[in-house]
Structure 1
Amino acid sequence: MVKFDRERVGQAIMSIGGNGVGQVLVAVAAALLVRIFSGPEPALLLEHDIELEDWEKVDGDIEVGEESPVSRKVSPVTIRWRNITCSLSDKSSKSVRFLLKNVSGEAKPGRLLAIMGPSGSGKTTLLNILAGQLAASPRLHLTGIIDYNGNAYSNKRAYKFAYVRQEDLFFSQLTVRETLKLAAELQLTKISSEEEKEEYVNSLLLKLGLVNCAESFVGDTRIRGISGGEKKRLSLGCELIASPSIIFVDEPTTGLDAFQAEKVVLTLQQLAKDGHTVICSIHQPRGSVYSKFDDIILLTEGALVYAGPAHEEPLEYFSKFGYNCPDHANPAEFLADLISIDYSSPESVYSSQKRIYGFVESFSRHSSTILYATSSEKRQISARMKFRENNLLKRGGWWRPFCLLLKRAWMQASRDGPTNKVRARMSIASAIIFGSVFWRIERSQTSIQDRMGLLQVAAINTAMAALTKTVGVFSKERAIVDRERSKGSYTLGPYLLSKLLAEIPIGAAFPLLFGVILYPMARLHSTASRFGKFCSIITVESFAASAMGLTVGAMAPSTEAAMAVGPSLMTVFIVFGGYYVNADNTPIIFRWIPNVSLIRWAFQGLCINEFKGLQFDCQHSIDIQTGEQALERLSFGQRRIRDTLIAQSRILLFWYYTTYLLLEKNKPKYQQLEPLPHDENQDHRLIESLNNDNMEKPQPGTPRLSSELSRRVPSFKFL
């Protein structure tokens, strides 16, 4: 086996001087040499592969043609779909709107397929259906046929799939390398040694062009991190770990500049060359991006206009109807204009709709003309791709994912500098303000109310600070967890337990900081044991409030909704917290609320800790003489601090258990594909027609608008 030292080859190429022509000639010669010895694998290096600084981070040589311990072969999968129809019913108006209507096509391994069309044409809907990720709704009705290598849709899980969504969601405090390494450790079991893990992560970083930012934090809107294009490629990397046969990518270039968009699509093209079946939805790519597509599907208003090769074929197809692409024009823009409705005037609306309806009808008559990779190309792809044993982590393991998630949760919590600084400053500021207002409380009769007010404020401040922090963060984290759980990386139990344990040190620091400043300023019961109990009560209360925030975040559909529900729910607990309404005077219908109010239990514990053993100055016989008498008036006389801590712990566990149930209940559900009401022989005829290399080519004709088309495509209506 021939062994190539890629670093030395790169240095030899880059060391050639002159005007660059010599470098180009040497690079081409090297590529041909590699091609001779390496067989059908791609010989030309990607742009980031030539950079010497990238290779310096990977130790050892690479043996061409020999599989490394961490290389992952792809099982080739051809996906075919026929007559996909998705409708949305409106019960109030008793009308039906078609999102997709009789859409057929296929995607093959080794080719990059782009689903194109104007906004609202059904691109993302089709992508979600093919990936089995269309959100379930009782108003939706989905029918059609999808098969994978000839197997029915129900056998989809026999193959490995990846779905890169439009939103790139990560833990912001992890670096790019840590994100990939953790994803690999969660999904893979046969990579045991640290050296193999590092080699595997390094290979992904090189493949995706992320070496230069490997040690950078991912970041978010608050923390500066990697660019949008790098995040998109990192999303691809996390999905590539399992060596998926099919990769679905939703709008990969949205929000990216031209350079980053081209790099992302170049990565998708390379993945297709590696044997993956890559399907992406895209709105209107620039010319350099469009040239990287192997096949395209054109949709408009949910109907299929064209499906086939992406380069000259669609231009030739539409030219037969009299629509020629101007010279030096972007084919993607030409096609987008051709299948879009012009709303500038009633005449243009009618003209464009008539044109589009003609395209739909014409292509439906020649649906067997979908041209994709030839049989020879398919044989070449299959020859170099061998089925690899599934190394995915099987569900049932508990300890390993728990340790990994605990490590991640601790890194995320401890590195969140901006949030921790704000919480620390707020704890210090609120303690100083409250301590100044209740400065050195005396033992007079009026001080009784002051002490109760201070303890109530301390309980409310601690709970609200913990609640708002958790609610603001968990909604985004929940989306990440849902995606990871859908891939089978772990279950809910290890995640929730790791989150609870990881946040104990950070969560305890701020109540302690608050108590250390407030307690001496207010001159509360000045013994070390009482101070320790004070800090313990507000710390456990903080944990319970955080658990409540998790429940609110799991229940609310968005961060905004959670921020509205959380404080409102806390206000109810404050009212029944024991200071404003005496527990004995609470109406029977509401007496259960104080038992679940973390404010009430914290306030009760703080009062017992403060008032027991206190003596107050008395001027009249009716005055309160002892702290025990003050507790009796609050209905806390027969309570103990231990009861308070036990009740708070129960509330904490209650909220965590409720969070678990809500996350299980709200687990994403996807729309089921219903089969078409026809015999199975039609499916076999469809597959045979798609595999036929000598298909009938469309004959040029004048598109016409007919009543038959209106019946077949009911979503199309003249405006």
Structure 2
Amino acid sequence: MMPIDHDPTSNTTSPSFNMNPQDFPPSPHIDLPLASARAVSPCLEEVQRFCQDSSSPPRFSTLHGSLRPIILKFQDVIYNIQLPPTTESTTSPSPTTRVILNGVTGIVRPGELLGMLGPSGSGKTTLLTAIGGRLQGKLSGGSITYNGHAFSKSIKRKIGFVTQDDVLYPHLTVLETLTFTALLRLHKNLTRKDKIDQVDMVISELGLTRCRNTMIGGPLFRGVSGGERKRVSIGQEMLVNPSLLLLDEPTSGLDSTTAHRMMATLKALARGGRTMVTTIHQPSSRLYQMFDKVVVLSEGYPIYCGRASHVIDYFCSIGLPPGCNFINPADFLLDLTNGIYSDTRHEDQDVEHYTKLEHQDNNSPSCIKQFLITSYMNNLYPILKAETHHTFGDQNHSTLNPSSGSEENEWSTSWWEQFKILLQRGLKERRHESYSGLRIFQVLSVAIISGLLWWHSDVTHIQDQIGLLFFFSIFWGFFPLFNAIFAFPQERQMLIRERASGMYNLSAYYMARIVGDLPMELVLPTIFISITYYMSGLKPSPITFILTLTIILYNVLVSQGLGLALGAILMDVKQATTLASVIMLVLLLAGGYYIQHIPHFIAWLKYVSFSHYCYKLLVGVQYKGYEVYECGLEIRCKVLDYPTIKHLGVHNLGFDVLALTIMLVGFRILAYYALKMNQL
């Protein structure tokens, strides 16, 4: 390994990564600006020729709405997180905070594409999230400004954020996905036709015309390709014609050709006057040459920020030139961020000198990282600081101003429009799941088997009929409960992304979800009761049948509300399913069928069991006071005197309806506030 040639007076051996500029002496290695002429090695010249951009991507079409250029500045950004306390006993106390970002500074202008490079865990996504205003908590230091203004809701509407994972509804087509996004995000002053026209324009510009009517797809069925999914995600943000577009690992999971096309699309978007910032893990040389600027991070500390074409010049100037076998600047940068440096051009020179250096510690990864940080602070940081301070003497781009409080709280569409659009989207997406062949088969098979088991039972088999009614209450308590548990955990990522983009009000989403579930949750129990009721020989009166069906449907809604609440509180399917199993088992045992003489200290359980109230109501509407049954040889007794019914007590049915109503409303209110508490 080639030794690091640096000023012995500089503090490069200190283990402390302190980012205060005054702690570092002036560096004698480089006289910036970096564009100044300097001697470059022959192999470096070859690399520069290889990295020249040979093509200019086409200009992106103008979308609806004026594009207000944004000059993005981030100055001395510091972000720390609190670590949980450790119980391990150590000689030295463990740190209570962890540094994620430390002193990151940079500026991106309209028309520029900035790439953030660094290994996993270097802080790229954290910095991108902070720029997008989506960081949990506040910055520990520094500032991020947009045309000189702090982040606000008005600025948020001009920022597009594309996450690494493509969170899309699998059963919607490309056209439907972009259409619903446009209807929700574009301003209410635009007509529906204007919004549809904008969708068509985005589909055309992003090359999605061929797959516009293809479903997105998911784990269980094939849809569009990975590159097309990523372009759909970008298209959702492009609909609002963002001035600042942020992308987290846009080439992740794509082959080299698709990744190159993706970057060409981003380059075209930037050339249209937008400010573009993207994180990228390990770009190829073809991708690297598309960046105008790069920020290189190592464990949260910047080691370079500037023009992508000047990066090799800079590292050569501080004594870290690449080897002759160097091809990709990104590979060279990633080695440096990991504290790895080797210069193969000098492998056959100064062998004796290298042998001596092997016994020194000045080539260790930590020492190399410290040297890179020191060089950055001495050489690049003063230039960046001066550039960011002088930028806003030129205010001809600063047309984006903070809005008044009333405008910031204004949604793009009204609450009622949000509700209607979300309801329509939910019905289109969930109909495939709710009316799947497997679920229909499950309900029909149980209905037919139940009808056959209780085939033409009559009042003489009163215990059997009571058992069937209790089965109705527990089956249509379990089934909707466990289906509803999945609702919010499965849509959590989608809800987080759309809410972070300011697409709709949480209450509009919640009401659309509840209303949209009604036809899907009530059709199957209606079919079930219609089959089983008459097969089993229950009272053939139409009024009794309608009352029985109404009670079952009411029970379904209560059970569904409990499932929604459990899912919203825990936001984890496994935990919610486990807890629901325990709750339903307790409610089942306390329902009043298996045990009638419950000890007083635990008798309260039946009063919180919706299955108990449903069971009482079903028995109450099925049997009247004048009905009799054979209780012995030629002996007839009143049905209401049957021990099970008598102990159940079916006289005060109004209280049971009230109890179910309280649960119906209470569970749904609990679910809504659980979503709000989870910051959704």
TM-score scaled by length of structure 2: 0.78
Is residue 602 from structure 1 mapped to residue 614 from structure 2 by the alignment? yes
- Give 1:368's match in structure 2, choosing from 358, 378, 381: 381
Question: 5 Å matches for 1:377-526?
Answer: 394-395=410-411, 397-416=414-433, 420-444=436-460, 447-526=461-540
Question: 5 Å matches for 1:65-214?
Answer: 70-92=64-86, 94-95=94-95, 96-136=97-137, 142-152=140-150, 157=155, 160-190=158-188, 192-214=190-212
Distance of 1:158 and 1:493 partners within structure 2: 21
Q: Note closer, same or farther for the CA distance 1:155–1:44 as it changes in structure 2 (3 Å cut).
A: closer
Q: Note closer, same or farther for the CA distance 1:193–1:126 as it changes in structure 2 (3 Å cut).
A: closer
Residue 25 of structure 2 aligns with which residue?
A: none
Is residue 527 from structure 1 mapped to residue 521 from structure 2 by the alignment? no
Query: What is the CA deviation profile of residues 254-293 of structure 1, one whole-angstrom value per residue up to 9, with x for unaligned ones?
Result: 2233333333322222222122222122211222222221
Equivalent pair of 1:275/1:385 in contact (CA under 8 Å) = no
Query: What is the CA deviation profile of residues 16-49 of structure 1, one whole-angstrom value per residue up to 9, with x for unaligned ones?
Result: xxxxxxxxxxxxxxxxxxxxxxxxxx99648xx9
* The 10-residue stretch of structure 1 (187-196 or 419-428) with the greater mean CA deviation from structure 2: 187-196
Distance of 1:238 and 1:667 partners within structure 2: 23
3-state DSSP of counterpart to 2:224: coil
Is residue 316 from structure 1 mapped to residue 310 from structure 2 by the alignment? no
Q: Note closer, same or farther for the CA distance 1:590–1:205 as it changes in structure 2 (3 Å cut).
A: farther
Per the TM alignment, residue 132 of structure 1 is displaced from its structure 2 partner at its CA by 2.5
Where in structure 2 are there 5+ consecutive unaligned residues? 1-54, 87-92, 342-357
Q: Note closer, same or farther for the CA distance 1:595–1:80 as it changes in structure 2 (3 Å cut).
A: same
Residue 676 of structure 2 aligns with which residue?
A: 664
Q: Note closer, same or farther for the CA distance 1:387–1:134 as it changes in structure 2 (3 Å cut).
A: closer
Distance of 1:271 and 1:550 partners within structure 2: 41
Residue 565 of structure 1 aligns with which residue?
A: 579
Given residue 667 of structure 1, which amino acid in structure 2 is its aligned partner? Q
Between Structure 1 and Structure 2, how many residues are aligned? 594
What percentage of aligned pairs have identical amino acids?
Answer: 28
3-state DSSP of counterpart to 1:84: strand
Is residue 221 from structure 1 mapped to residue 201 from structure 2 by the alignment? no
* The 10-residue stretch of structure 1 (74-83 or 178-187) with the greater mean CA deviation from structure 2: 74-83
Instruction: Output the aligned Cα RMSD.
Output: 3.6
Q: Note closer, same or farther for the CA distance 1:547–1:224 as it changes in structure 2 (3 Å cut).
A: farther
Distance of 2:361 and 2:661 partners within structure 1: 68
Query: What is the CA deviation profile of residues 316-354 of structure 1, one whole-angstrom value per residue up to 9, with x for unaligned ones?
Result: 2222323315456222122212222579x9999972222
Q: Note closer, same or farther for the CA distance 1:297–1:554 as it changes in structure 2 (3 Å cut).
A: same
Is residue 355 from structure 1 mapped to residue 355 from structure 2 by the alignment? no
Per the TM alignment, residue 153 of structure 1 is displaced from its structure 2 partner at its CA by 5.3
Per the TM alignment, residue 394 of structure 1 is displaced from its structure 2 partner at its CA by 2.4
Q: Note closer, same or farther for the CA distance 1:342–1:457 as it changes in structure 2 (3 Å cut).
A: farther
- Give 1:554's match in structure 2, choosing from 559, 568, 582: 568
Per the TM alignment, residue 361 of structure 1 is displaced from its structure 2 partner at its CA by 1.5
Distance of 2:468 and 2:82 partners within structure 1: 57
Equivalent pair of 1:432/1:518 in contact (CA under 8 Å) = yes
Per the TM alignment, residue 130 of structure 1 is displaced from its structure 2 partner at its CA by 2.3
Distance of 1:261 and 1:624 partners within structure 2: 81
Question: 5 Å matches for 1:569-648?
Answer: 569-582=583-596, 585=598, 587-588=600-601, 591=604, 593-612=605-624, 614-619=627-632, 625-627=638-640, 629-630=642-643, 632-640=645-653, 644-648=656-660
Question: 5 Å matches for 1:48-67?
Answer: none
3-state DSSP of counterpart to 2:436: helix
Given residue 75 of structure 2, which amino acid in structure 1 is its aligned partner? W
Residue 654 of structure 1 aligns with which residue?
A: 666
Q: Note closer, same or farther for the CA distance 1:83–1:663 as it changes in structure 2 (3 Å cut).
A: closer
3-state DSSP of counterpart to 1:189: coil
Equivalent pair of 1:76/1:382 in contact (CA under 8 Å) = no
Per the TM alignment, residue 389 of structure 1 is displaced from its structure 2 partner at its CA by 12
Per the TM alignment, residue 421 of structure 1 is displaced from its structure 2 partner at its CA by 2.0
* The 10-residue stretch of structure 1 (110-119 or 225-234) with the greater mean CA deviation from structure 2: 225-234
Per the TM alignment, residue 411 of structure 1 is displaced from its structure 2 partner at its CA by 1.6
Distance of 1:216 and 1:388 partners within structure 2: 40
TM-score scaled by length of structure 1: 0.74
Query: What is the CA deviation profile of residues 608-638 of structure 1, one whole-angstrom value per residue up to 9, with x for unaligned ones?
Result: 2333365322226999641453564342231
Equivalent pair of 2:157/2:501 in contact (CA under 8 Å) = no
Residue 284 of structure 2 aligns with which residue?
A: 286
Given residue 594 of structure 1, which amino acid in structure 2 is its aligned partner? K
Q: Note closer, same or farther for the CA distance 1:389–1:665 as it changes in structure 2 (3 Å cut).
A: closer
Equivalent pair of 2:270/2:276 in contact (CA under 8 Å) = yes
Distance of 2:599 and 2:535 partners within structure 1: 34
Per the TM alignment, residue 359 of structure 1 is displaced from its structure 2 partner at its CA by 0.9
Residue 27 of structure 1 aligns with which residue?
A: none
Given residue 433 of structure 1, which amino acid in structure 2 is its aligned partner? I
